[in-house]
Structures are given as C-alpha cells and as structure tokens.
Amino acid sequence: MSHLVQTMAYAGATPWHGLGNRLAEHQPLEVWAEAAGMNWRIEETDVMFRVGTHDLDPIKSFPEQKVLYRSDNGKPLSTVSQRYQVVQPAEILEFVRREVA
C-alpha cells in the first residue's frame, strides 16, 4: 500500500518503496514529526447539517457524533461517536520512540 503514503520519515536503510524523508538516527521527536508530516493535531467539532437545500435553511447539530479534522489544513479525517478518544500524532510518535529505544 505504498501508493497511499503521503509523507513519512525513516532512519537507516531506505524502505523498499523508496518513499520518505531520510533522517539521521537519534533525532528529537519534533524533527521526526516535521519530516514525517505529523506535526499537526487532531481537532474535533460538532456535526452540523443543513435542513433543506438553500443557504438560509436552518442548520442543526447532531450531538451524538463529532467530526475530527486536521489542525494544519482543516481537512476532515472522520466522523466518530462522542465516546471516541482521540490519539494525537505526537502521542503515536512518542509510543514508537519508547518501543524502539
């Protein structure tokens, strides 16, 4: 599924697909986040919908769900239940750092 890779970083040998930004080993987490394209946060907001097709039709909320979106570009990631617990990209990097250290 390398065709789905948008950005990534690696240290050591080049991955088989040849994609990504090569980093020297033992770089700080902030450097990895920048090189891997993970230097953004997951934000959330209420699900809103328009009742009707005209701009002046009322907008209502759907409180059982929330929209997750990227803080850097506002692009939506998913619609999830209110119970969903967000895991930030930086938290994932920190987990990986602890596991491979």
Residue 93's pLDDT band (cuts 50, 70, 90):
confident
Distance CA 93, CA 29 (A): 7
Q: Tell me which of 18 and 75 has the higher pLDDT.
A: 75
Q: What is the mean pLDDT of residues 65-80?
A: 96
pLDDT of residue 57: 87
Hey, which of 15-19, 39-43, 89-93 has the most confident mean pLDDT?
A: 39-43
Which residues make Cβ contacts (< 8 Å) with residue 88, sequence separation at least 6? 41, 42
In tens, the pLDDT along 20-70 reads: 889 888 888 889 889 988 899 999 999 999 988 888 889 999 999 999 999
Residue 98's pLDDT band (cuts 50, 70, 90):
confident
Residue 37 DSSP code: T
Give the CA count within 13 Å in the CB-facing half-sphere of 82.
7
pLDDT of residue 45: 96
- Residue 6: Cβ within 10 Å count: 7
